[in-house]
C-alpha cells in the first residue's frame, strides 16, 4: 500500500469501514435471530451456514448448560457464547461476543491455551487454566473441545469451559476436613459437647487417656463444665474466662475410669453461630503426668544424691548461699555441721560396697530425724555429710549451744547398731562445726572451716565434735606448709637415720633400731611423731619407708666389714601402707640383694593393726621373706587386740613389750601383763625385747621376769651413725676391762 496517493488511501479506508459496518450489522442480526443463514468466505470459497434452521432444542440446551460454551473464529474472535460463559467472566454477553479470546486468558495461562488449541481435534483434549474476569479476579476453568466439526467449519472452534471455582473450593473443604479428621484423631484427647456441656463426640486419644469408651460417656455432662462444681473458685474462674474470652487453658487433675488421678493440660474453646450463641464446647486434654515426672526426675538428678535422696553439693551450696544472706539480713545465726564416718573404708573392705551403701542410706535416714524441717541434710559424697541449721539465736553462744545439742543428738543416733542384711555393724561420726556470722567469709570457706574442725575431731579420738577456731586454722596453715616441705625433703636429702642400741642382760650390744629424723632447714630437728602421720595422709609414707629400708640396708653392708657391728641385727619399722603394697616382698628382696646384705641381720617391725586387717596376706608376706632369712618383730605388743590365735599363726621371731608397760612397771597390773607376755613368748618360741627402759630398776624387774633384751634411754637415746659406732667402741672397751 506504500507509495499510493492520498485519494487511494481514503478510498481503501472507506471500503474497510463499510465492511466493518456490514460485519457489525450481521452480528446484530445473528444475535437477534433475524437471519436464516450465514455466508462465510474462506480459502475454499463461499460457505453458507444455516442458522434459523438449527434445532431450537439444541439452542435451548446450550443456553442453559451449566458449563460455558463458546465458538471462536480462526482469528480468536468469539462469535458465539452462552450466558453461563458470560457469567463466568462477570461480563455482559454483548461484550463477550465479538471480543478476542486472548483478552480473557490470564497471561500465565496463555501458553497452556495455545497448547490446547494445537490438539483441539484430539479426543479427551482438556486443559486447566485461568481466565481473568471483568472485575480482574481469576477464574479457574477446565477447557475442552465440545464436539468435532465438519470439514467445511474447520476454521471455527467450539469449546466448553467448566468453572473450577466451586470444585476447587470443594476440594479444599475436603482437604480441610481430612486435616481436621487427622487432627481430631491426634495424640491429644478431644471431647466435643453441646451448649449444655453434654458430650456428643470424643476421639480415640480421649478414650485411651481416660479409659472411657464413647458409648459410656455419650450424652453425659463433661465433668469440668459440670454445674455441680461451680461453687469451686477454680471452676468459677474457668467458666468466667470461657464466657468472656471464649476459651480457657490450664492444668486440671482428672480421674481415669480405673480411679487413677492424672494431671492434664486442658484447653476449652467455644463454637458460636453468627449471632454469638454458643453451639458447642471443644476441649482438649494432654496427660502431662509423665512429663512432670520426667521434669522432676531431671531435677532430682541435678540436685539430689541418687543413693540417699538427700540434697547434693550443688543444692547445698544454693541453700547455703540463701541461708547466709538471710542470716546476715535478719541477724539470726546459722551453723554448718560437717560429718565424716569413722573407719568407713574398713566396712567397704570387709563387707563390700553394697553393705557400705546400705549403711549410708540408713545414716541419711537417721540424720534427717535429728533436725528440724527447715534445716538441710546433704551428702557431699562418699561418707561425708553436711547439716545446715538455720534461724538460730542471734547470740553466738546460744547458737553454738543449739548446734552442739544437735551434733550430740546425731552422735547418739548414728552410734546405734545397724542391721546390714545379716550383719550387725557399729560406726561413729566425727563432727566439725562452724557458725555463719562468726566468720564473714564465703560459703566455700564456711565448709572448709567445718571440714577443718571435723579433722580436729578425728585427731582427738573420733566419735566426737569440735568447733572451728582460729588456732585450728593456724594449725592447718602450718600443716599445709609442712606438707609442701615434706614433699621436697626426700629430693633435698633432709632425712637421716638415727640408731638406738639394743642390749642383752650382760649389756652386750645385740642390735639397733633405725629411726628416721627430719633435719628441716628452718624448723630444725623433727621427730617422726611430727611428720609421719602427715606422710600417711598425703601418700608419702611408702616413698619414705623405701628410703629408710634402702639406707638401713646400705648401713648393714658397711657394718659387715666391722668386727664391732658385723653381728648386729638392725630393726626397721614398716608402715601399714608399705606392708600392704603388693610389691613389698619383691621390694625387700631387691634391696637386700642389691646391697648384698645378710638377710638374717634385717629385722622388720610391724604393728598388730597391720597384721589384723588381713591375717592371711600377712602370713604369706612374712613367710616369703622369712624364707630368705629376713626376721619379723611385732612392735607395741599388748596395746592392741593381742589375739593369741593370729599370734600362733604368724611366723614371727620377736615380740616387743611396749614402753607404756615398762614406764609403769611398778604397778601390779603392768608387771602381770609383762610376765604374761614373757611366758607366752617362751611358749611360742619367740624372743622378747622391752623398749623404753630408762632406769636400772626397770631393767632389773624385767630381767627377774625373764626378759633378757632391752632398749631405751638407760643405754642410749637414738643417735647418728658416727656417734652410734663410737658408743659401740666404748662399750667394747668396758666389756674388755
pLDDT digits (tens, 9 = 90+) for 617-634: 888 999 999 999 999 999
The C-alpha cell that represents 682 in the structure block: 617362751
Average pLDDT value over all residues in the chain: 84
User: Hey, which of 193-197, 282-286, 524-528 has the most confident mean pLDDT?
Assistant: 524-528
Kindly tell me if the per-residue pLDDT of 165 is higher than 50: yes
Q: How confident is the model at residue 297 (pLDDT cuts 50, 70, 90)?
A: low
User: Percent of the chain, pLDDT > 70?
Assistant: 82
- Give 107-141 pLDDT, tens digit per residue: 999 998 998 888 877 777 888 999 999 999 999 99
The C-alpha cell that represents 357 in the structure block: 551403701
Kindly tell me if the per-residue pLDDT of 18 is higher than 70: no
| Residues 611, 617: Cα–Cα separation, whole Å | 8
Helices (H) and strands (E) in the chain, counts: 27, 28
- Give 553-569 pLDDT, tens digit per residue: 999 999 998 999 999 99
Q: Which stretch of 168-177, 243-252, 693-702 has the lowest confidence by average pLDDT?
A: 168-177
pTM (two decimals): 0.47
The C-alpha cell that represents 690 in the structure block: 622391752
- Give 693-732 pLDDT, tens digit per residue: 999 999 999 999 999 999 999 999 999 999 999 999 999 8
What distance separates the 2 farthest-apart alpha carbons in the chain? 176
Kindly tell me if the per-residue pLDDT of 291 is higher than 80: no
pLDDT of residue 39: 52
pLDDT of residue 596: 95
Q: Which stretch of 89-98, 150-159, 377-386 has the lowest confidence by average pLDDT?
A: 150-159
pLDDT of residue 180: 57
3-state secondary structure of 485: helix
pLDDT of residue 118: 84
Task: Calculate mean pLDDT across residues 62-67.
Answer: 81
Residue located via cell numbers 609442712: 482
What is the DSSP secondary structure assignment for residue 720, as one 8-state letter?
Answer: -
| Residues 480, 316: Cα–Cα separation, whole Å | 27
Q: Which stretch of 163-167, 352-356, 496-500, 714-718 has the lowest confidence by average pLDDT?
A: 163-167
| Residues 230, 486: Cα–Cα separation, whole Å | 79
Backbone Cα Rg of the chain: 55
Residue partners of 638: CB distance under 8 A and separation at least 6: 657, 658, 661, 673, 677
Between 47 and 115, the higher pLDDT residue: 115
Between 538 and 371, the higher pLDDT residue: 371
pLDDT of residue 445: 84
pLDDT of residue 3: 47
pLDDT of residue 49: 47
Amino acid at each position: 500500500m506504500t507509495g499510493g496517493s492520498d485519494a487511494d488511501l481514503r478510498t481503501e479506508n472507506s471500503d474497510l469501514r463499510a465492511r466493518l459496518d456490514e460485519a457489525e450489522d450481521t452480528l446484530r442480526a445473528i444475535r437477534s435471530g433475524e437471519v436464516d443463514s450465514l455466508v462465510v468466505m474462506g480459502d475454499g470459497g463461499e460457505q453458507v451456514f444455516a442458522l434459523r434452521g438449527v434445532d431450537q432444542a439444541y439452542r435451548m440446551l446450550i443456553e442453559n448448560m451449566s458449563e460455558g460454551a463458546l465458538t471462536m473464529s480462526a482469528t480468536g474472535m468469539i462469535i458465539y457464547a452462552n450466558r453461563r460463559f458470560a457469567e463466568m467472566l462477570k461480563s455482559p454477553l454483548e461484550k463477550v461476543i465479538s471480543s478476542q479470546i486472548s483478552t480473557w486468558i490470564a497471561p500465565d495461562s496463555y501458553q497452556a491455551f495455545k497448547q490446547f488449541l494445537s490438539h483441539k481435534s484430539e479426543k479427551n483434549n482438556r486443559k486447566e487454566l485461568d481466565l481473568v474476569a471483568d472485575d480482574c479476579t481469576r477464574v479457574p476453568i477446565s477447557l475442552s473441545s465440545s464436539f468435532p466439526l465438519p470439514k467445511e467449519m474447520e476454521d471455527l472452534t467450539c469449546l466448553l469451559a467448566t468453572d473450577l471455582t466451586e470444585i476447587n473450593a470443594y476440594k479444599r473443604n475436603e482437604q480441610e476436613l481430612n486435616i481436621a479428621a487427622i487432627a481430631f484423631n491426634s495424640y491429644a484427647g478431644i471431647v466435643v459437647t453441646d451448649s449444655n456441656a453434654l458430650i456428643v463426640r470424643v476421639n480415640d486419644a480421649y478414650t485411651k487417656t481416660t479409659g472411657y469408651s464413647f458409648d459410656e460417656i455419650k450424652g453425659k455432662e463433661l465433668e469440668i463444665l459440670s454445674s455441680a462444681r461451680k461453687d469451686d473458685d477454680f471452676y468459677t474462674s474457668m467458666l468466667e474466662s470461657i464466657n468472656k474470652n471464649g476459651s480457657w487453658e490450664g492444668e486440671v487433675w482428672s480421674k481415669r475410669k480405673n480411679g487413677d488421678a492424672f494431671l492434664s493440660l486442658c484447653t476449652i474453646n467455644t463454637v458460636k453461630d453468627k449471632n454469638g450463641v454458643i453451639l458447642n464446647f471443644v476441649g482438649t486434654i494432654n496427660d502431662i503426668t509423665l512429663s512432670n515426672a520426667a521434669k522432676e526426675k531431671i531435677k532430682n538428678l541435678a540436685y539430689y544424691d541418687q543413693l540417699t535422696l538427700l540434697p547434693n553439693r550443688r543444692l547445698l551450696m544454693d541453700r547455703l548461699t540463701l541461708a547466709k544472706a538471710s542470716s546476715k539480713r535478719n541477724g539470726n545465726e546459722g551453723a554448718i555441721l560437717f560429718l565424716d564416718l569413722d573407719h568407713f573404708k574398713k566396712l567397704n573392705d570387709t563387707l563390700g560396697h553394697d553393705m557400705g551403701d546400705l549403711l549410708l542410706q540408713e545414716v541419711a535416714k537417721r540424720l534427717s530425724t535429728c533436725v528440724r524441717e527447715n534445716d538441710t541434710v546433704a551428702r557431699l559424697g562418699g561418707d561425708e555429710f553436711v547439716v545446715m541449721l538455720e534461724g538460730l539465736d542471734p547470740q553466738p553462744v546460744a547458737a553454738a549451744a543449739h548446734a552442739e545439742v544437735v551434733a550430740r543428738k546425731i552422735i547418739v543416733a548414728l552410734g546405734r547398731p545397724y542391721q546390714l542384711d545379716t550383719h550387725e555393724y557399729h560406726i561413729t561420726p566425727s563432727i566439725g562445726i562452724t557458725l555463719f556470722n562468726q566468720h564473714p567469709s564465703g560459703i566455700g570457706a564456711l565448709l572448709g572451716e567445718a571440714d577443718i574442725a571435723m579433722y580436729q575431731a578425728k585427731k582427738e579420738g573420733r566419735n566426737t565434735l569440735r568447733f572451728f577456731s582460729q588456732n585450728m586454722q593456724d594449725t592447718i596453715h602450718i600443716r599445709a606448709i609442712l606438707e609442701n616441705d615434706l614433699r621436697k625433703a626426700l629430693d633435698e636429702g633432709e632425712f637421716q637415720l638415727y640408731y638406738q642400741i639394743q642390749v642383752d642382760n650382760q649389756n652386750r650390744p645385740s642390735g639397733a633400731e633405725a629411726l628416721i629424723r627430719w633435719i628441716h632447714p628452718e624448723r630444725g630437728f623433727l621427730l617422726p611423731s611430727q611428720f609421719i602421720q602427715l606422710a600417711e595422709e598425703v601418700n608419702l609414707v611408702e616413698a619414705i619407708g623405701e628410703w629408710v629400708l634402702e639406707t638401713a640396708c646400705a648401713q648393714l653392708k658397711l657394718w659387715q666389714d666391722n668386727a664391732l657391728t658385723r653381728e648386729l641385727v638392725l630393726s626397721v619399722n614398716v608402715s601399714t601402707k608399705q606392708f600392704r603394697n603388693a610389691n613389698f616382698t619383691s621390694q625387700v628382696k631387691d634391696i637386700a640383694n642389691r646391697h648384698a646384705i645378710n638377710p638374717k641381720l634385717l629385722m622388720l617391725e610391724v604393728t598388730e593393726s597391720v597384721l589384723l586387717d588381713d591375717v592371711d596376706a600377712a602370713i604369706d608376706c612374712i613367710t616369703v621373706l622369712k624364707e630368705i632369712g629376713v626376721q619379723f618383730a611385732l612392735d607395741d605388743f599388748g596395746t592392741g587386740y593381742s589375739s593369741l590365735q593370729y599370734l600362733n599363726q604368724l611366723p614371727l621371731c620377736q615380740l616387743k613389750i611396749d614402753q607404756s608397760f615398762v614406764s609403769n612397771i611398778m604397778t601390779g597390773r603392768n608387771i602381770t601383763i609383762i610376765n604374761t607376755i614373757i611366758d607366752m613368748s617362751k611358749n611360742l618360741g619367740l624372743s622378747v625385747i622391752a623398749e623404753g627402759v630408762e632406769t636400772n630398776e626397770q631393767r632389773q624387774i624385767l630381767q627377774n621376769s625373764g626378759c633378757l633384751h632391752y632398749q631405751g634411754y638407760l643405754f642410749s637415746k637414738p643417735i647418728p651413725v658416727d656417734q652410734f659406732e663410737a658408743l659401740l667402741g666404748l662399750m667394747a672397751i668396758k666389756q674388755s676391762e
